[in-house]
Amino acid sequence: MGIVKRLPSLRRAVLYSLVLIFGYALGVAAFGHGHSDTVEAAAPEPAPEIRLVTLDGKKLHLADYKGKWVFLNFWATWCPPCLAEMPEMETFYQKFKAKNMVMLAVSVDKDDPARIRAFIKNHGYTFDVFNDPDGEALSKFGGSNIPATFIINPRGEIVSQANGPRSWTDKTIIDYFNDLLKKG
């Protein structure tokens, strides 16, 4: 009788493992194994207006962050390249949060926000996390692949972007951001 009760959880575990393996394979196919050490500079253009929903259901707008540098990252818990870059995102956030920068991580997971919240808490991430289960915000930024990161200046203009994972603690990227902040 005990084995019969464990079958549904065994099936879930196998299915979850297959999803992770498939996600990893897709990530490697799309982005390769390594991280890029650059962020693409862009001619400043106004960031699209998006509505952000916290994991607690509070609604905000990207415009609420005008006057600050915004590191806007789209990700998902099932995306291995996304998960690989998140620890370095936290390090990056700790380095730059006192320099008028906010980090907004927008999950495109369709799961219950409580699951995403538990994931964030279990990993000790302290940046702001939002939920975009329909991918509307990502779509407004012209994105279709994750991870995707957009850097928005205090005037609300996109000045840089990174498609795919990055090593956010790489000296080249840190120097680039320091220069960006100095130019203001």
42 shares a domain with 10: no
Instruction: Specify whether the CB–CB gap between 149 and 166 falls below 8 A.
Output: yes
44: domain CATH number is 3.40.30.10
In this structure, the answer to whether residues 28 and 39 fall within a common structural domain is no
Phi/psi of residue 118, each to 5°? -65, -40
Range of the domain at 114: 34-183
Nearest to 174 by CA among 98, 104, 88: 88
Instruction: Write the single-letter amino acid at 19.
Output: V
In this structure, the answer to whether residues 21 and 43 fall within a common structural domain is no
Question: How many Å apart are CA 136 and CA 142, to the nearest integer?
Answer: 10
User: What pLDDT, on a 0 to 100 scale, did the predictor assign at position 18?
Assistant: 38
Task: Kindly list the averaged pLDDT for each block of 10 residues, start to end, along the chain of length 184.
Answer: 50 43 39 53 88 93 97 97 97 97 96 92 97 94 92 96 94 94 84
Q: How many domains is the chain partitioned into structurally?
A: 2
Whether residues 147 and 62 share a domain: the answer is yes
From the list 147, 15, 3, 169, the residue with the least C-alpha distance to 83 is 147
* Whether residue 150 is found in the same domain as residue 122: yes
DSSP code of 43? Answer: E
- By the 10 Å C-beta count (0-12 exposed, 13-18 middle, 19+ buried), 167 is classed as middle
Give residue 24's pLDDT.
Answer: 38
CA–chain centroid gap for 49, Å, is 18
Does residue 61 share a domain with residue 18? Answer: no
42 and 20 part of one domain: no
Give the per-residue pLDDT at 100. Answer: 95
**88 and 49 in one domain?**
yes
Check residue 23 and give its pLDDT.
Answer: 42
Looking at residue 112, what is its pLDDT? 87
Burial 148-164 (b: 16+ CB within 10 A, else e): bbbbbbeebebbbbbbb
In a shared domain, residues 166 and 123: yes
